[in-house]
Amino acid sequence: MTGKVYLIGAGPGDPELLTLKAHRLLIMADVVLYDRLVGKEIIDLIPENAEKLYVGKAKSLHSLPQDQINSLLAEKAKQGHMVVRLKGGDPFIFGRGGEELEELIEENVPFEVVPGVTAAAGCAAYAGIPLTHRDYAQSVRFLTGHLKDGTTDLPWEELVHPAQTLVIYMGLTGLKEISQSLIRFGMEPSMPVAIVEKGTTKEQRVFTSTMKDIYDVATKNEVKSPSLLIIGEVVTLQSKLEWYGKY
């Protein structure tokens, strides 16, 4: 009998951001394939008798290529297992969940998607940065700083807008190019920027600066991945909202 695959968003790190459904399914799993960005406290929730398979990816270092992960999900489900694919953040926001589901459909394997708190929402909230605000930003745009071909070639002209918040995932490696390109296409060098490192976890660090100086700030403070880049006037609210949020 064929089992089933549950594609679950684990959120950005804090285990209390797991949905009730995600938690229920995780503690029932036979097999769990988990990513590098899944927090240790969440991994600790996996049942002791479940098969745990690490399939994480770092820059230029994949423990398992994506096509093999896709095949493994189908294989484990066809063996009759309840398979949980645990992904950091939300599976459908830069999580490659769609690619995995395409393989399952081809293999006639049943599946279900359980959304998770994406890093943009979780990290911004924990850092005290509202992604939208009636006075500062009427839209928000999520982008990845690491494209499929390894470049950081984004639609720069579309991104320079005064009433828009930009949230860039995986933007640390290309941070210098990102800041220089946005300024070259018209963004004010004084535009507020925040970097949230290891957001929602106990190791979270938040650095705010300007578009012109953010690369130097990140270098000086030895910021590491995973880090999220938030660009826009809403960042000016960070110090006030974060401070009051601690009470």
Tokens representing residue 68 in the block? 């093999």
| Strand 111-114, strand 4-9: pairing | parallel
Tokens representing residue 168 in the block? 């860039």
Q: Is 35 one of the catalytic residues?
A: yes
* Beta carbons of 25 and 84 less than 8 angstroms apart: yes
> Judging by beta carbons within 10 Å of its beta carbon (0-12, 13-18, 19+), is residue 196 exposed, middle or buried?
buried
Q: Which residue has the tokens 């036979």?
A: 30
**Which of these, 199, 218, 200, lies nearest to 209 by C-alpha position?**
218
Among 35, 76, 87, 90, the active-site one is 35
DSSP string, 119-172: HHHHHHHHHT--S-BTTTBSEEEEEESS-TTS-----HHHH--TTEEEEEET-S
In what order do the strands lie in the sheet containing 31-34? Answer: 51-54, 31-34, 82-87, 4-9, 111-114
Among 4, 30, 52, 57, the active-site one is 57
Separation of alpha carbons 76 and 94, rounded Å: 24
Indicate if the alpha-carbon torsion angle 157, 162, 164, 166 is positive or negative: positive
Q: Is 135 one of the catalytic residues?
A: no
Residues serving a catalytic function are 35, 57
